[in-house]
Amino acid sequence: MAKILIVDDEVGIRELLSEILRDEGHDVLLAENAAAARAARNALRPDMVLLDIWMPDTDGITLLKEWAASGQLTMPVVMMSGHGTIDTAVEATRIGAIDYLEKPIALQKLLAAVKRGLQRPQPAGTPAPLTLAAFTRSVPLRELRRRVEQIAVNSRVLLLRVGAGSLAELVARSVQASGAPWLDLAAVTAPLDLNQLQATQGGVLFVGELARLSRAQQKNLAFALDRLDRYDLRLVAATDRSLDALLAEGWEESLVSRLFEVSLAPPSIADVKDDLPELASQILLHLVEGGEVPLRRFSTAALNQLRNLGWPGGYAELRAAVKSLALGTLEEEIGVADVRRLLAPSHDVGMTGVPLDQPLREAREAFERLYFEHHLRLEGGNMTRLAEKTGLERTHLYRKLKQLGLQAGRRHEEG
């Protein structure tokens, strides 16, 4: 039978529901609060969850949002409450709960809800993108989410003023409605047309760095900006340049002025360094849930090592590093030795790791290999962005990677 997790801070409720469900032949798991529920969900993978709304540490609605935001809402969840409201039930259903039971729970209603939940087809495909809502324990990230949500209510355009260690993509994903389309304008090199905007209707247009856009892509941006209302689109763009700097680089003043109307300076990874273990852990969970990596977990020492590294490439670099660790580690637990072996060399400054007592040609080749390995990981294998970052023509870039024995990331072309 099914494995069912009961989450409730009242021991009497847990025991009663446990007895009923065990009599029905189910394997029952118990959690007295949200922290225990997180651990049980991650370690034991229940087929279904009965989740109380009112709990002392984190309420059930917040935990449900966290699971939905991190791609972990892969099992049916039934909410329970002794003093809920219709609004609470509607919100829980909107987030992803399949049912809502009022306490005291009648036996037949409980069994019917469990039966419906277990018969419900499991969601297929990749989970929803990771958003700021997944990071419930970080005060700066919680505050950032509230600011972003407040701006999104009143503006279709959000400019992120960022520097090294940018969290721009994570912020932009938090603006994206569940299941809504996503279009990275930096990956569109041909003229943008109405069919592309129609296909992205209700979704998000994203630009990771305005300064990287070509003149043709700037025209695409202006074209899209004029049609946000028509296609119910939101635009999130990021840059480390000032308004005057972009004008000096040849941008149209009217376009830049519109982009800078509503701006926000989100924290960088360096600003939330103490929260990096939570960032890395949630990224890993999301990759596991999406089937991109095998089941892995970080040791405490490994998370501390990640916190002590510099992340100039921001969220994209951290996500690529976590994925590399999960795929390159042989054991289920990712240890500090794995972090040092797989990541530390690419975070060293200058030419650390390149022996200088060798001929110039070999030393140059060793440096180029380190350089391209770093940027391949930073850009998530996306060859379009890698070509822009390195300033190489695509054919030359593929030839160079082949010469260095590196794999070109063709499968990430559209990312």
**pLDDT over threshold 50, residue 395:** yes
* pLDDT confidence tier of residue 256, bands split at 50, 70 and 90: very high
pLDDT average, residue stretch 199-209: 94
Domain membership of residue 185 (yes or no) is yes
Instruction: Identify the pLDDT of residue 414.
Output: 41
Range of weakest confidence among 2-16, 204-218, 336-350: 336-350
Evaluate whether 285 touches 72 at the Cβ level (below 8 Å).
yes
Q: Are residues 307 and 397 in the same domain?
A: yes
Q: Is the pLDDT of residue 407 over 80?
A: no
Do 299 and 349 fall into the same domain? yes
The span from the CA of 335 to the CA of 396, in Å, is 38
Q: What is the pLDDT of residues 82-91, one digit of tens each?
A: 876 777 878 8
- Sign (positive or negative) of CA dihedral 397, 398, 401, 403: negative
Q: pLDDT at position 415, please?
A: 41
Q: CA–CA separation, 268 vs 265, rounded Å?
A: 9
Enumerate the H helices of 155-227 as residue ranges.
168-175, 194-199, 215-225
What is the CATH classification number for the domain harbouring 82? 3.40.50.2300
Q: Which domain holds residue 27?
A: 3-119
pLDDT band at 19 (very low <50, low <70, confident <90, very high): very high
- Residue 7 banded pLDDT, cuts 50, 70, 90: very high
State mean pLDDT over 118-144.
80
Q: What pLDDT is attached to residue 352?
A: 45
Angle, vertex CA 135, rays to CA 133 and CA 140, nearest 5: 100
Tell me: do 96 and 172 sit in the same domain.
no
* Range name among 8-12, 248-252, 366-370 with the lowest pLDDT average: 366-370
Same domain, 109 and 211: no
Q: Among 94, 119, 144, give the residue marking a domain's end.
A: 119
Mean pLDDT of the chain: 86
User: Do 170 and 208 touch, CB atoms closer than 8 A?
Assistant: no
Same domain, 231 and 358: no
**Domain endpoint, select from 264, 289, 309:** 264
Residue 413: per-residue pLDDT = 43
Q: Which residues contact 412 (CB under 8 A, 6 or more apart)?
A: 380, 381, 382, 383
Based on the number of CB atoms within 10 Å of its own CB, is 264 exposed (0-12), middle (13-18) or buried (19 or more)?
middle
Residue 394: what pLDDT? 81
- 194 has pLDDT over 90: yes
- Do 106 and 155 share a domain, yes or no? no
Residue 176: inside a domain: yes
Domains held by the chain: number: 3
Is the residue at 25 inside a domain?
yes
The model's pLDDT over 323-373, given as tens digits with 9 standing for 90+, comes to 999 998 889 999 988 888 877 554 444 444 555 556 777 778 778 887 887
Least confident of 26-35, 216-225, 303-312: 303-312
Average of pLDDT values for 182-203?
A: 92
- Last residue of a domain, which of 54, 88, 119? 119
Provide the CATH number for the domain around residue 205: 3.40.50.300
Q: Looking at residue 9, what is its pLDDT?
A: 92
Strand 182-184's sheet: what is its strand order?
A: 182-184, 204-207, 234-239, 157-161, 263-264
- The pLDDT-based confidence of 125 (bands split at 50, 70, 90) is low
Is 126 a domain residue?
A: no
Query: What local confidence, expressed as pLDDT, does residue 325 receive?
Result: 92
**Is the residue at 221 inside a domain?**
yes
Q: Report whether 264 contacts 160 (CB < 8 A).
A: yes
252, 354: one domain: no
Cα–Cα distance for residue pair 69/170, rounded to 1 Å: 11
* From 63-72, 136-145, 195-204, 205-214, the region with the lowest mean pLDDT: 63-72
pLDDT computed for residue 356 by the predictor = 59
Distance of CA 112 to the CA centre of its chain: 35
Query: Which pLDDT belongs to residue 355?
Result: 57
pLDDT of the residue at 375: 80
pLDDT for 284 equals 93
